Amino acid sequence: MQEREKEAMAAICLMAAVADGCKSSVEHAKLKEIAQALDAQMSAAVVQRVLLRKTTLADEAAALSTPDIRMLAFEMAVCVCDADGVATPEEQEFLNRLSDALSIPPVAALQTQSHAEDFAMAAAKEPSAQPPPPAPVSVPVCAPQTAWAAEPDPVDAQVDTVVLKHAILVGGLELLPQSLSTMAILPLQMKLVYNIGARYGYQLDSGHIKEFLAVLGVGMTSQIVEGFARRFLGSLAGRAGGHAMGHLSGAATGAAVTFAATYALGMAAKKYYSSGRTLSMADVKALFSKSTDEAKTLYSRYAGEVAQSAKSTNMSSLLSVVRGR
């Protein structure tokens, strides 16, 4: 039954990805991301079933056995539809049919879509340099400077602190019980890049920032799907070995992954803009990869701060931060 539920979840997400009828390269990339994030081995069969219309929403919805899993499937479909902007009329009609098939209460369905649209619109608009709320961070003390050593750049030190605070805030989103918090990750990462660019004298627009993130493989769809996949698979594991344990395992993994990605993104942006944008994208990608590995080790030092950040964050405050208020 667990395998059937995974297939049903994947099929619903794939249906959401093609609900607007687009056959562009963007849509094909989205399909690939979803299939790989959920389960690469069964992706071909599910993709064929969906694209050849050998299944229906009712068939897939019937395979999801609990209200929690059905709600998670609906939230994931909403996020997939909104990943490249607010849902189109065709996508909205699909979501209406999906909520009926999954027996999602109308109020819950409307609230889910409203929050998702807020996050999608925040990712689409021009970011501001407003930093996130301060998080309790213990920044390591630098070694004393020798008499002949160059004075550290105060801007570099400020950026290091900003990057760490963002990584802690965004990592904490994975620990929140609300699945939709995953959609706030990209807008906050965009704000981080904007903030770093501004500190080095560059006023960046959202188009440039998205291109910079895309070069590093950081995108809305991939992060949403991977985040939901962790929650979903954690729920299945929880049924086998205790719900709480399964949830905590998936959440901790997600927090570490998201912390590392955000920290590495900040370090890559810092190097790129502090160099006057002279680094090649190949060098930036290499730096991002190296910083990701370093951040995975660094996470254990700040896991407590990540957990504390999650405790002080709720959907209302998160929406305010994403909107730049």
* Mean pLDDT calculated for residue range 64-93: 85
* pLDDT score recorded for residue 49: 85
pLDDT tens figures, 125-150: 656 555 444 444 444 444 444 444 45
DSSP string computed for 270-282: HHHHHTTS-S-HH
Cβ within 8 Å of residue 302, ≥6 positions away: 137, 138, 164, 167, 168, 259
The CATH number assigned to the domain with range 2-119 reads 1.10.3680
* Mean pLDDT calculated for residue range 152-173: 91
* pLDDT score recorded for residue 273: 95
* Mean pLDDT calculated for residue range 166-185: 84
* pLDDT score recorded for residue 234: 54
pLDDT tens figures, 287-303: 999 999 999 889 999 99
CATH 1.10.3680 residue window(s) in the chain: 2-119
Output the average pLDDT for the chain.
78
Q: What share of the chain is helix, strand, coil (3-state, %, to 5)?
A: 75, 0, 25
pLDDT class for 243, splitting at 50, 70, 90? very low
pLDDT tens figures, 178-223: 777 777 888 889 899 999 999 999 999 888 898 898 888 886 655 6
pLDDT tens figures, 102-122: 999 999 999 888 888 887 777
Q: Nearest 5°: CA angle at 21, between 15 and 27?
A: 70
Q: For residues 173 and 259, what is the distance between their CA atoms, to the nearest angstrom?
A: 10
What phi, psi does 312 have (nearest 5°)?
-95, 10
Cα separations in angstroms, 167 against 10, 31, 61, 171: 29, 28, 36, 6
8 Å CB contact between 30 and 17: yes
* pTM (predicted TM-score): 0.72
3-class SS at 233? Answer: helix
* pLDDT score recorded for residue 135: 43
* Mean pLDDT calculated for residue range 46-65: 88
Residue whose C-alpha is closest to residue 200's, from 286, 277, 283, 287: 277
* pLDDT score recorded for residue 100: 96
Cβ within 8 Å of residue 8, ≥6 positions away: 60, 61, 63, 64, 73
* Mean pLDDT calculated for residue range 279-288: 93
* pLDDT score recorded for residue 87: 81
8 Å CB contact between 34 and 10: yes
8 Å CB contact between 48 and 115: no
Query: Regarding predicted confidence, which is higher, 152 or 181?
Result: 181
